Amino acid sequence: MTNYGRYKHRLISWRVRGDERQRGVDLPAHRPTHAELFERTHHVREDTAIHRRALITGLAGAGLASPILAAEPDPLGFRPDPAFLEKAMALLKTHAAIDTHAHPGLGGSEAKTVADMREGLLAASSFAAVADRSVLRATPTGIVVDHAFAAGEAAAAYRSQIDRLHHVAADLGLPIIRTPADLDTCAGGKPPGMIVSVEGGDFLEGDASRLRAARDADDVRIITVVHYRPNELADNQTSPARFGRTAEGGLSPAGVAVVREMARLGLVIDVAHAAEGAVRAAMAETGAPLLCSHTHVKTPAYDHPRFITKETARAIAAAGGVVGSWPSGFGGVTLNDFVDRIFVLTEVVGPDHAALGTDMDANFRPTMSSYRQLPLVVSELLRRGYGEANVAGLVGGNFRRLFDTVWRSRRA
């Protein structure tokens, strides 16, 4: 039994006084406007912001503390409802929750993050190598490319990171997810599955023929075409366009060959970080449903280069793809801001095309910084009327469908 299980009976008896709860099961007709949803972007309301110390002190004083809440490091921005937290735990035990993009334990703390996964009932996650990691440098204003790759550096960086991921899986007893059916073995607090992923196609050095070995020898199943380094394949969101016919960028001839081969091999094409012209080119060249694993839609209230337009988000959804909701600090402060963000994204793409993309352990000022917070996110979505079926799709079902479609469509 988990620590939560030992405390659960006491936790669910707690109620927040004077706080009536909405218990609808469908997306509510009275959803707030975008302006209302983002009202907390820069100012957390004093009457709703609940910081860890105040929350735990209050619960502990009543004898109702829970490790799920005690592990909470961030401002919540909402009062957790124990009844809905109970429902959230039940849902996560029966529906495999999947993080479409993350770097669990990046830097050597994999065991801790995996423990958080199990406590938060995450069934599987992308474990993403960062293809251009060795040439990037963080600055006060963002991530920049520090130098060009030396000969063989991109391939060596890929090899060392992929080998480490396989060692982590073996050491921690994590099943490697090779097919969609493998996800069925991971739900309900079992050892979480590892989806081997690569953020950036730099390791290919423009050579699509390397993809087969990545799939068959290295178990890679998701590749983000381009990251912060403008590579040989595609333009990204944060650099001037080089390919395509407009300032919106596109794919290079090598990039076209790579996305076509990925579709042929049944690899998930992730277009997070890609310029919007490159996203449309990937759709046109492959006809495959795409993953945009960690982003948000641009709104009048907040715009950022790493966000995508509503038109692109809807195009991804119309082609059967999925957009991962990203709990970044760009325009968000609290866990409630992340919940708001999920509602906004779902309003644009529909509940069948939204997913989780936390960028865990490599995110900018994350509004969700631990997998132990996943039941809290799910509980608040349920309380606010997102609906159980829609939550099941968001936390894993929608990505599972995309993965299944791509894998079944492989031709080699």
Class of domain 81-408: alpha beta
Whether residue 33 is predicted with pLDDT greater than 50 in this model: the reply is no
Which range (4-8, 203-207, 223-227, 246-250) has the least confidence? 4-8
Residue 17 predicted with pLDDT over 60:
no
Confidence at 263, pLDDT banded by 50, 70, 90: very high
Name, in order, each residue with C-beta under 8 angstroms of 175's C-beta and a sequence gap of 6 or more.
169, 182, 185, 186, 191, 193, 194
DSSP one-letter code for 307: S
- Contact predicate 167/110, CB 8 Å: no
User: Please, are residues 127 and 195 in contact by the beta-carbon 8 Å criterion?
Assistant: yes
Question: What does the pLDDT look like over 317-349, one tens digit per residue?
Answer: 999 999 999 999 999 999 999 999 999 999 999
Determine the pLDDT at residue 311: 98
Query: Is residue 194 a contact partner of residue 178, using CB atoms and an 8 Å limit?
Result: no
State residue 245's pLDDT score: 87
Question: Which residues on neighbouring strands pair with residue 291, listed in sequence order?
Answer: 270, 322
Kindly report, residue by residue over 139-197, the tens digit of the pLDDT.
Answer: 887 899 999 999 999 999 999 999 999 999 999 999 999 999 999 999 888 999 999 99
Task: List C-alpha distances in Å: 208 to 93, 230, 408.
Answer: 39, 17, 20
For the chain, how many residues are written? 412
Residue 260 and residue 251 in contact, taking contact as beta carbons nearer than 8 Å: no
123, pLDDT greater than 70:
yes
Answer whether 361's CB lies under 8 Å from 128's CB: no
Band (111; pLDDT cuts 50, 70, 90): very high
| Identity of the highest mean pLDDT range in 13-17, 45-49, 245-249 | 245-249
Q: Please give the torsion angle defined by the CA atoms of residues 399, 400, 402 and 407, in that order, rounded to the nearest 10 degrees.
A: 140
Q: What is the pLDDT of residues 1-10, one digit of tens each?
A: 333 333 222 2
